[in-house]
Structure 1
């Protein structure tokens, strides 16, 4: 079992790095400058992901009357922006991949600092859990190594060796696609007992509602073309599992109830976001024919 877990963790690392490397290979410095030229777009993304969606997670958890473990999982998930699946959803929906990847990296970097403070404040205000204390420096290092560095390497390659970047991009995208499927299967296989145990409860539905509402909020609180706006919606819908899992281990001692609820919320969130991205992809494919 330990060997399988190590293998799954290794594949997850490859998926995150390959996704961000592929996004960097497909980006250009002028495109990035255009995205961040005005402060409105990044500020709206920060507002949606660092303020509105954490409060939404609190509200959904309270609305559904979730038990303590599921309530904690919802708050941890909602407070953790910048999941690498966001860049993947931009690819799936044929959206603005450069804007999605750049925004996702920004959110992951800022969110690694704000996550502990946000989750602790909400859990304290709600009177749930014992509060959390996270190693912020470790979270920042994790984000830098797995997300910022591969994206930067891909971007530099595209800038200084564009022909090489174009030739590498298909292979990097294939690795991202294959490992994405493996990670999805692994999450289901590794946590199926916990997820099955929650069938019939309100936790799966709450996670589904949170992701769908986050997609809508991210789309509304965005600027630019429809493709860019829905890309921001996908980035908002998919939260960053890393800090949430770290909190479950550090603050709650890997309590099985919290881990099971966390897996259920993350998987139900993907179940909400992926069909939306697939529908958008089909519509855009039809528009180009």
Structure 2
């Protein structure tokens, strides 16, 4: 069991680092500057993801009367913005892919710092966790190192050696996707008894409702064309598993019940967000290219100084 736990921890570290390294390889400085150039969009998205969504997670956990493990899992997930699949939902819905990718990496970077204090505050306010208090400095240091350092390295490579970054990006993205599936499978299979007990507890439904409402909240708290606003909804709906897994290991010793609940909440959240994005896609043609989109890592010519900038509407 100890060997399996070590393997699980190692794969989790690889997943988090590879995800942020791929994000850095796919990002560009013009795209990130463009995000900061839209002040109201930036303010509203940060407000939604760093404050409103965590409070929504607490409210849903209390409303459904979730068991302790699921309550903790939902609070951890709600406190962790910037899930990489959020940017992919922009592609699924034919949304503003460039803006979504730029905002996702920004939220993941900011969330590296805010996750610990936010989760700790919610756990204490909700009197959840059996009196466990997160070691915020250790958690911030762990998450920041695992996320910010790989992202910074990837961003530097993209800025100074774009051909190298573009050639490395597919492998990094594949590593991220594969290790994410392995982590999810490990949480489900390694804690299957705890997952089964969640079926009648309302935990799966709570994760589903949380994701759907978060999609709507992220869309409402955004500016610009509808394609961009719904893309911000997708970014908000998919939370970042990395910091939540780090907290589960550091503060809760990878308790099987909490790991199983994390997997259940993550999967039920995707089960809500993906159909919403698919429904939006059916209503849209291929995403337009032009002034309605921020330049970003998936936009041709995004590294040029004259990359197009959109107008707030």
User: In 1, distance between residues paired with 2:139 and 2:101?
Assistant: 19
Higher alpha-carbon deviation: 93-102 or 56-65 = 93-102
Considering fraction of residues, name the structure with more helix. Answer: 1
The range that moved more, 172-181 or 37-46, is: 172-181
Alignment partners' CA distance in 1, 2:239 and 2:43 = 18
Q: How do residues 220-235 of structure 1 correspond to structure 2 at under 5 angstroms? A: 220-235=220-235
**Mapping of residues 235-274 of structure 1, within 5 Å:** 235-249=235-249, 251-252=251-252, 254-274=254-274
Any unmatched runs of 5+ in structure 2? Answer: 289-313
**Contact residue 158 and residue 164 of structure 1 kept, 8 A:** yes
Alignment of 1:1-289 (within 5 A): 1-90=1-90, 95-96=95-96, 98-249=98-249, 251-252=251-252, 254-278=254-278
Change (3 A) 1:32 1:271: same
Partner Cα distance (1:97, 1:150) in 2 = 22
| Distance of 2:112 and 2:170 partners within structure 1 | 30
Structure 1 stretch 71-80 or stretch 246-255: which is displaced more?
A: 246-255
Deviation at 1:5, TM superposition (A): 3.3
Change (3 A) 1:156 1:84: same
Distance 1:106 1:138 in 2: 22
SS at structure 2 position matched to 1:36:
helix
How many angstroms does 1:282 deviate by?
A: 6.7
Conserved in 2, the CA contact under 8 Å of 1:23 and 1:87? no
CA distance in 1, matches of 2:242, 2:251: 14
In 1, Cα distance between equivalents of 2:185 and 2:280: 23
Q: Specify the SS of the correspondent of 1:157.
A: helix
The 1:284–1:140 alpha-carbon spacing in structure 2 relative to 1, beyond 3 Å, is: farther
Q: Is the 8 A contact 1:113 1:136 kept in 2?
A: no
**2:113–2:140: 8 Å Cα contact kept in structure 1?**
yes
1:30-76 Cα deviation digits (max 9, x unpaired): 22211111322221122111211111112212222223333333223
Q: Secondary structure at the match of 1:199?
A: coil
- TM-score normalised to the size of structure 1? 0.81
Contact 2:48–2:217 (CA<8 Å) still a contact in 1?
Answer: yes
- Matches of 2:214 and 2:233 in 1, distance apart? 7
Calculate the TM-score normalised by the size of structure 2.
0.76
Distance of 2:175 and 2:250 partners within structure 1: 32
RMSD: 3.2
Please list the CA deviations of residues 159-190 of structure 1 after superposition, one character each: whole Å capped at 9, or x if unmatched.
Answer: 22223333333333333343343333333322
User: What per-residue deviation string (whole Å, max 9, x for no partner) do you get for residues 69-112 of structure 1?
Assistant: 33333223222323344345456556555544443343344434
Q: Structure 1: where are the runs of 5+ without partners?
A: none
Q: Determine the C-alpha separation between the residues in 1 that align with 2:70 and 2:79.
A: 14
